[in-house]
């Protein structure tokens, strides 16, 4: 597909200005009280308008159309995946699954500090098995349930959850979209990802230890509520697990988009809710009744539309030629290690998916260890800012008012320290791969 270089044109310069302006409004969300999706949606539309005009002026409107369709496909898959994941999380919340888990955790008699490490470690492990986005949504709901009387615990634990979920997704091929991309391209084989386990663990553990000193030393208040799930709660959990397995199987064994497997899993939930509701009406038991469509109404559309704006805006900058320009300048000018480290830091501001796509497209000559390094840095670098990863953005929507951009930013220095420790550990432990 033909690619125009519009980086020095008025179309490219205006697009960069629009993008930076939109991101500034996202950062100031708490001050302006403007939902984060609004400026990036406007920016995405304006950037693609400029792309359309720029390509049309060169007689390449069909090329611009093909590139836009490709971005639509990427967003469509993410949208469907997220709709199903969020609907399952909402349904588990309605069935009081998280209340039961909270009661279980509180019943262990652990302090807030121990619960902080437990929820973070569970996020790290689950993300390696599931994916970082789903893990952040699930564990975020647990954190808010456990710490409902301690806002500070919730804020710090949400930060830990995001860092742990991103770190856990970096050492398995299906833990993050970027690792999937690297695996699909054949740059790293399935089992070779697991050499990143220790660097990934350190990426979470270092900031977690630092933040733990700010966690309240007391324990959650004792409660007589045993947190009993509604009937069918366990069934929803098992169906969610089956949905994740289905999505992974669609990808690994059928070479089909994981989103299709997720939609099949949504079918599981719809049929289950039908029989559960019919049984509830028959027994006149309102606790059994489950209207799964009501859970769609609770989807955080601000988050989903923010993803739309980000993917289309950043994708547009790629079409204009900026991502290629940055990749070439870094790898030719600074070398692979410095370039991969900087790209990981950039993923805190720019979505890691187009960054990784740009690297794979440029296909720089790198050793196996360097491909593992870019997999690590692109996977965990987004944790430095809350808007730097899908997990962070989704959790900001779920824990609105408790987990915020500014709250995360206060601990960015500790997360960045974990980032560089992880890189150092990889260079040391996996030196034979370079």
pLDDT in tens, 124-178: 998 877 678 778 888 888 888 788 778 899 999 999 999 999 999 899 876 777 8
How many residues does the structure list for the chain? 434
Residue 1 lies in a domain: no
pLDDT over 60 at 24, yes or no: yes
Nearest CA-CA partner of 242 in 261, 223, 220, 219:
261
pLDDT over 60 at 1, yes or no: no
pLDDT at 427: 95
The helix/strand count (H/E) of the chain reads as 21, 0
Neighbouring C-alpha atoms within 13 Å toward the C-beta of 3: 13
How many Å apart are CA 118 and CA 125, to the nearest integer?
Answer: 11
CB–CB of 177/169 below 8 Å? no
How many Å apart are CA 352 and CA 358, to the nearest integer?
Answer: 10
Residue 3 lies in a domain: no
Residue 59 lies in a domain: yes
Show Cβ contacts of residue 128 under 8 Å, excluding neighbours closer than 6 positions.
168, 169, 171, 172, 175
Residue 22 lies in a domain: yes
Q: What is the mean pLDDT of residues 83-108?
A: 82
Give the residue with greater pLDDT, 307 vs 412.
412
How many Å apart are CA 373 and CA 366, to the nearest integer?
Answer: 10
Q: Which of 100-104, 262-266, 291-295, 329-333 has the highest mean pLDDT?
A: 262-266
Q: What is the mean pLDDT of residues 388-417?
A: 87
pLDDT over 70 at 88, yes or no: yes
pLDDT at 399: 82
What's this model's pTM, rounded to 2 decimal places? Answer: 0.77
- Per DSSP, the residues of 346-405 read HTTTS-HHHHHHHHHHH-----HHHHHHHHHHHHHGGGGSGGGSHHHHHHHHHTTTTS-H
pLDDT in tens, 174-198: 677 788 778 767 788 877 889 999 9
Q: Report helix, strand or coil for 62.
A: helix
Residue 4 lies in a domain: no
How many Å apart are CA 285 and CA 350, to the nearest integer?
Answer: 50
pLDDT at 428: 95
Number of neighbours of residue 224 by Cβ within 10 angstroms: 5
Number of neighbours of residue 49 by Cβ within 10 angstroms: 15
Residue 343 lies in a domain: yes
Give the residue with greater pLDDT, 278 vs 248.
278
pLDDT over 90 at 297, yes or no: no
pLDDT over 60 at 304, yes or no: yes
Residue 401 lies in a domain: yes
pLDDT in tens, 61-82: 999 999 999 889 878 887 888 7
User: In Å, how far are 95, 321, 337, 371 from 144, measured between CA atoms?
Assistant: 16, 42, 39, 37
pLDDT at 97: 86
How many Å apart are CA 197 and CA 209, to the nearest integer?
Answer: 18
Q: What is the mean pLDDT of residues 325-345?
A: 86
How many Å apart are CA 77 and CA 82, to the nearest integer?
Answer: 9
How many Å apart are CA 50 and CA 17, to the nearest integer?
Answer: 12
pLDDT at 29: 75
How many Å apart are CA 392 and CA 411, to the nearest integer?
Answer: 14
Element (H, E) at 40: helix 37-57
Structure tokens at 139: 């564990």
Burial of 108 per CB tally in 10 Å (0-12, 13-18, 19+): exposed
Q: What is the mean pLDDT of residues 407-425?
A: 95
pLDDT at 207: 96
pLDDT over 80 at 357, yes or no: no
How many Å apart are CA 262 and CA 273, to the nearest integer?
Answer: 17
User: In Å, how far are 39, 146, 168, 311, 395 from 114, measured between CA atoms?
Assistant: 39, 12, 19, 37, 21
Residue 5 lies in a domain: no
| Helical axes 10-27 vs 37-57, angle rounded to 10° | 180
pLDDT over 70 at 222, yes or no: no
Q: Which of 18-27, 343-352, 357-366, 368-377 has the highest mean pLDDT?
A: 368-377
pLDDT over 70 at 226, yes or no: no
How many Å apart are CA 380 and CA 207, to the nearest integer?
Answer: 13
Q: Report helix, strand or coil for 116.
A: helix
pLDDT at 2: 64
Domain hosting 416: range is 10-433
| Number of domains, the chain | 1
Mean per-residue pLDDT of the chain = 87
pLDDT in tens, 252-271: 788 888 889 999 999 999 99
Structure tokens at 239: 């169906």
Element (H, E) at 178: helix 177-184
Q: What is the mean pLDDT of residues 214-238?
A: 81
């Amino acid at each position: 597909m033909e690619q125009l270089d519009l980086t020095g044109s008025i179309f490219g310069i205006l697009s960069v200005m629009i993008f930076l302006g939109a991101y500034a409004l996202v950062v100031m969300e708490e001050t302006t009280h403007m939902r984060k999706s609004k400026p990036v949606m406007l920016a995405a539309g304006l950037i693609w308008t400029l792309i359309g005009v720029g390509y049309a002026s060169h007689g390449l409107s069909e090329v611009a159309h093909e590139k836009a369709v490709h971005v639509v496909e990427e967003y469509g898959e993410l949208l469907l995946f997220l709709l199903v994941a969020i609907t399952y999380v909402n349904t588990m919340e309605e069935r009081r699954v998280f209340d039961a888990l909270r009661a279980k955790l509180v019943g262990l008699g652990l302090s807030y500090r121990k619960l902080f490490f437990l929820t973070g470690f569970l996020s790290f492990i689950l993300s390696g098995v599931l994916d970082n986005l789903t893990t952040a949504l699930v564990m975020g709901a647990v954190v808010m349930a456990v710490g409902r009387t301690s806002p500070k615990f919730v804020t710090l634990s949400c930060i830990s959850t995001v860092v742990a979920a991103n770190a856990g997704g970096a050492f398995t091929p299906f833990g993050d979209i970027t690792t999937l991309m690297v695996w699909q391209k054949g740059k790293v084989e399935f089992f070779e990802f697991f050499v990143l386990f220790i660097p990934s663990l350190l990426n979470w553990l270092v900031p977690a230890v630092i933040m733990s000193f700010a966690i309240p030393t007391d324990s959650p208040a004792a409660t007589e509520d045993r947190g009993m799930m509604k009937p069918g709660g366990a069934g929803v959990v098992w169906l969610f697990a089956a949905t994740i397995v289905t999505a992974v199987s669609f990808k690994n064994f059928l070479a089909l988009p994981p989103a299709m497997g997720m939609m099949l899993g949504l079918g599981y939930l719809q049929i289950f809710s039908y029989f559960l509701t019919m049984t509830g009406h028959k027994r006149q038991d309102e606790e059994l009744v489950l209207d799964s469509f009501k859970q769609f109404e609770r989807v955080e559309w601000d988050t989903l539309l923010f993803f739309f704006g980000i993917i289309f805006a950043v994708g547009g900058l790629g079409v204009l030629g900026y991502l290629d320009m940055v990749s070439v300048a870094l790898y030719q000018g600074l070398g692979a290690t410095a370039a991969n480290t900087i790209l990981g830091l950039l993923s805190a501001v720019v979505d890691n998916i187009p960054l990784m796509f740009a690297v794979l497209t440029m296909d720089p000559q790198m050793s196996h260890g360097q491909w593992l390094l870019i997999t690590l840095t692109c996977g965990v670098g987004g944790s430095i800012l809350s808007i730097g990863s899908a997990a962070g953005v989704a959790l900001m929507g779920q824990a609105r008012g408790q987990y915020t951009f500014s709250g995360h930013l206060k601990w960015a220095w500790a997360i960045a320290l974990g980032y560089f420790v992880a890189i150092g550990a990889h260079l040391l432990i996996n030196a034979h791969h370079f």
